[in-house]
Structure 1
């Protein structure tokens, strides 16, 4: 997901769900329940019992009425005996019919008072058994106020007044517009999408275009097929799109189709953005590994909201902005999520720094790949000033999306972007490029030698990532992750200079072990202090000029940045009307 800075700055335990009457603050209309607004969190045994094999999703978009109708055919395999199906679906989309394995159920067989559609099966399904539910539903879906930070439907118009529509669902989840399992590990192995739209409109979506059906009245149905899509990565996009396409010849020997769908009248800007696709893809393939969805497509669609990492159909709404680094950061960031989010998906929202930290680090890394270390350093410094250190990046428990992204719910907020990026920068310099990129490839692909066809999308976690670092380096870096991931405050490097003696000592929350090496420059000559015990003492000539960490290789406390933040806060308070 894009940085929230732009706006302002499998567990089986039961999770208590607020009653129907517990409506949340209305971020959009129609209002949604606490259950629908919640995405992820602890799972019930009924939820973990379902393996999601296939979703066949038929939608009809009715823009004039701002209505969405759907028929969802969901196929599951039971991991344990199942008597009921717990399916997440916003109650603003009422269910009119349900069939199990082709046999219609009476209305008394299902209930959905709060956004958890519960279907009582005609007979229990044993472990290893299969069940198919066909759900017919429709209504007025929840509208986002400020997408993509608030989720829902985005009904808009093109400059010439034609329909322009999109969905975004990372925060509140897939249940805003289709019946799903709204938690990270609930992604289906295969999805077929059939999107029916009015005459003159197109509906680019996830995966491979199977075909377009045209009706006598001019309506069209766009048929797509996608493998292993992230639940919130499934997206509807509707508009009078034009298209630019091409083929990328990968260094791994395969050819990857590339598409950009844009609004009429924007061809020059669209072609310039499209020209960034191939070099950006080459960067990721050279630094990380094969594009994970090369047998489907690299797809981008212009949307009436800022952006989102919808698998193989990334949303783009950056208005073709120009930036000093010479590339479109939004396109690059959302594209990074094809590796860090769609190929590697965190099984628990608490581990989403794996998505956003890596996704954010890819921008300065791309700057370095294009222009060198000066651009890398400049872009990193831009991120450094946004780190807040209010909460740890991980809470070490099963969390919901909002408990990670929102500060008032105890989340780390934008720190999973910027602090995550700087932690990765520090780790890279600690263990070296060879080990760092080996760790990254293993985390993304589950193996060190990815090639097209020898990997599939996978789930990862912080615990697994630490184990990969330990396996690749042969060293235990638990002390590193304890501070950067599990503590809010940054490590502080205390400098004491007495005469010709300089002493450096790390101070970390809890006063634990922190043997992070530091470079010191003395009169222009740089040496590395191993800091094995967390401290180091060295002789310096009298009057020598000393610079600690001259290349900013380490994420550590900055009193100057804290002073800037305090000053800005004071200025903002003064500016408030009394």
Structure 2
């Protein structure tokens, strides 16, 4: 087996190195660590045309001749510079932009890369469907989990590579453009408007988003919580939104009490003018389809699920995709906790039914390492939630919620592993928890 970071010759002149993550062997790169992305984007809605300039600040972690970034073949690179020098040599093949600095960069040395590119962005096809930048009827949506970020900017596309961002979007003036973080400025010139956002907290590439459409922004009344909350949506959906999402401030208050302080400056829900199959999370933002505003609160459990991801997934982000239950199991259990705290069925009642349902399904999923084909299987969500409920029963409510609050505090804005969670949980009881973890995480048969 190759040592990490070492190239091995492949057929037809290609080069390969040991994958960063076995679940997505084509994504992520070695040899550097990104600390910041600055993206300057221009998007033409009628023609779905994107032009971009990406300025990437990184440090080399080893001496090497070449450095690679993930970038979709649908985008054409016109110029690359490294450390302010004259244009660098590069190749762009098989979803990898590989550049050769004119001079060797020492380990720990600065790696400042600027890439100019353009094209017609399209989703990246994967075994989980199409992910990334996608046209809407009028505008665009970005939903990149797990490997769609490269559909719209060059990046180190793996969740263990978190960085700060500044995102500038210039688009046709009738449209609203939303990205992660705080809106620094908005400037309109002639028929175009430029929106500049700053995301200072570290963010994984798949959680980076741009949303463009015929939207209006409004403040969500949330006197009982300190976190500013906003809605960005078509005017026609405003009345339904005000009913369907009315309990969101109460939801935020409940989760702050159970999970600890909200980890970002504010929270925005965007509702597209189109229907979406499922809502998606981004850092500081959740994206719903028009169909999730039905006027009957029919999607309220999904509202809870996406909000919970701000703690579990966005602030605390898995280090490798095998630990996906740390995102989805926790967000699913948050649905049950919201039900329990808002007058609905208790978590115990929901867990009992979920256990019965899972017992009727194939017993071929290993929660602690489900494999890429099953990592978004609904059983990961439900069995993950059941694992947390079993832990809650073993610890008792007081220690269990103390554990969750310490978990979110200790690893705020960091990457996490299952082992770190199980190690932390051991401090909240004198009883051995290994039998619980073995049964729920490392045995395919449902306990």
For residue 40 of structure 1, report the CA deviation from its aligned partner: 4.0
Give the structure 2 partner of residue 94 of structure 1. 76
Q: Judge conservation of contact 1:214–1:220 (CA < 8 Å) in 2.
A: yes
Distance 2:401 2:354 in 1: 21
Distance 1:238 1:121 in 2: 36
Instruction: Give the direction of change, closer, same or farther, for the CA distance of 1:283–1:147 in structure 2 (3 Å limit).
Output: farther
Instruction: Give the direction of change, closer, same or farther, for the CA distance of 1:128–1:484 in structure 2 (3 Å limit).
Output: same
The answer to whether the aligner puts 1:319 opposite 2:292 as a matched pair is yes
The answer to whether the aligner puts 1:122 opposite 2:136 as a matched pair is no
Distance 2:286 2:202 in 1: 16
Give the structure 1 partner of residue 427 of structure 2. 471
Q: Judge conservation of contact 1:244–1:274 (CA < 8 Å) in 2.
A: no
Give the structure 1 partner of residue 144 of structure 2. 169
SS of equivalent to 1:136: strand
Give the structure 2 partner of residue 139 of structure 1. 119
Choose 1 or 2 for highest CA Rg: 1
Instruction: Give the direction of change, closer, same or farther, for the CA distance of 1:204–1:43 in structure 2 (3 Å limit).
Output: closer
The answer to whether the aligner puts 1:260 opposite 2:231 as a matched pair is yes
For residue 442 of structure 1, report the CA deviation from its aligned partner: 2.4
Instruction: Give the direction of change, closer, same or farther, for the CA distance of 1:146–1:105 in structure 2 (3 Å limit).
Output: closer
Aligned pairs for 1:263-274 within 5 A: 263-274=234-245
Give the structure 1 partner of residue 270 of structure 2. 301
Query: Which residue, 27, 31, 56 being the options, matches 1:49?
Result: 31
Give the structure 2 partner of residue 183 of structure 1. 158
Give the structure 2 partner of residue 244 of structure 1. 218
Query: 1:523-547 CA deviation, whole Å, 9 max, x = no partner?
Result: xxxxxxxxxxxxxxxxxxxxxxxxx
Q: Judge conservation of contact 1:248–1:257 (CA < 8 Å) in 2.
A: yes
For residue 434 of structure 1, report the CA deviation from its aligned partner: 1.6
Distance 2:100 2:299 in 1: 52
Aligned pairs for 1:158-237 within 5 A: 163-188=138-163, 190-216=164-190, 218-226=191-199, 227-237=201-211
Q: Judge conservation of contact 1:361–1:424 (CA < 8 Å) in 2.
A: yes
Distance 1:61 1:335 in 2: 29
For residue 48 of structure 1, report the CA deviation from its aligned partner: 4.1
Give the structure 1 partner of residue 4 of structure 2. 12
For residue 331 of structure 1, report the CA deviation from its aligned partner: 1.6
Query: Which residue, 237, 240, 263 being the options, matches 1:292?
Result: 263
Q: Judge conservation of contact 1:204–1:238 (CA < 8 Å) in 2.
A: yes
- Unaligned stretches of 5+ residues in structure 1: 1-10, 21-34, 158-162, 397-402, 448-455, 492-578
Give the structure 2 partner of residue 563 of structure 1. none
Instruction: Give the direction of change, closer, same or farther, for the CA distance of 1:117–1:207 in structure 2 (3 Å limit).
Output: same
TM-score after normalising by structure 2: 0.88
Instruction: Give the direction of change, closer, same or farther, for the CA distance of 1:247–1:271 in structure 2 (3 Å limit).
Output: closer
Distance 2:368 2:238 in 1: 43
Instruction: Give the direction of change, closer, same or farther, for the CA distance of 1:132–1:13 in structure 2 (3 Å limit).
Output: closer
For residue 179 of structure 1, report the CA deviation from its aligned partner: 0.7
Give the structure 2 partner of residue 420 of structure 1. 384
SS of equivalent to 1:366: helix
Distance 2:431 2:346 in 1: 31
- How many pairs were matched up? 432
Instruction: Give the direction of change, closer, same or farther, for the CA distance of 1:111–1:68 in structure 2 (3 Å limit).
Output: same
Distance 2:10 2:157 in 1: 17
Query: 1:460-511 CA deviation, whole Å, 9 max, x = no partner?
Result: 11111110111222343122111211111123xxxxxxxxxxxxxxxxxxxx
Q: Judge conservation of contact 2:123–2:151 (CA < 8 Å) in 1.
A: no
For residue 16 of structure 1, report the CA deviation from its aligned partner: 9.4
Give the structure 1 partner of residue 16 of structure 2. none
- Unaligned stretches of 5+ residues in structure 2: 13-18
Give the structure 1 partner of residue 134 of structure 2. 154
For residue 291 of structure 1, report the CA deviation from its aligned partner: 0.3
Query: 1:245-282 CA deviation, whole Å, 9 max, x = no partner?
Result: 0464576xxx3221101112122112224422211110
The answer to whether the aligner puts 1:282 opposite 2:238 as a matched pair is no
SS of equivalent to 1:94: strand
Greater displacement, 426-435 / 58-67: 58-67
Instruction: Give the direction of change, closer, same or farther, for the CA distance of 1:90–1:327 in structure 2 (3 Å limit).
Output: closer
For residue 383 of structure 1, report the CA deviation from its aligned partner: 3.4
Query: 1:400-448 CA deviation, whole Å, 9 max, x = no partner?
Result: xxx43x24xxx5722210111111111101111122112222222217x
Instruction: Give the direction of change, closer, same or farther, for the CA distance of 1:319–1:16 in structure 2 (3 Å limit).
Output: farther
Q: Judge conservation of contact 2:32–2:61 (CA < 8 Å) in 1.
A: yes
Q: Judge conservation of contact 2:224–2:249 (CA < 8 Å) in 1.
A: no
Q: Judge conservation of contact 1:15–1:43 (CA < 8 Å) in 2.
A: no
Query: 1:375-408 CA deviation, whole Å, 9 max, x = no partner?
Result: 4344335533553432201239xxxxxx43x24x
SS of equivalent to 2:260: coil
Query: 1:355-386 CA deviation, whole Å, 9 max, x = no partner?
Result: 000000111111111116x4434433553355
Give the structure 2 partner of residue 344 of structure 1. 316
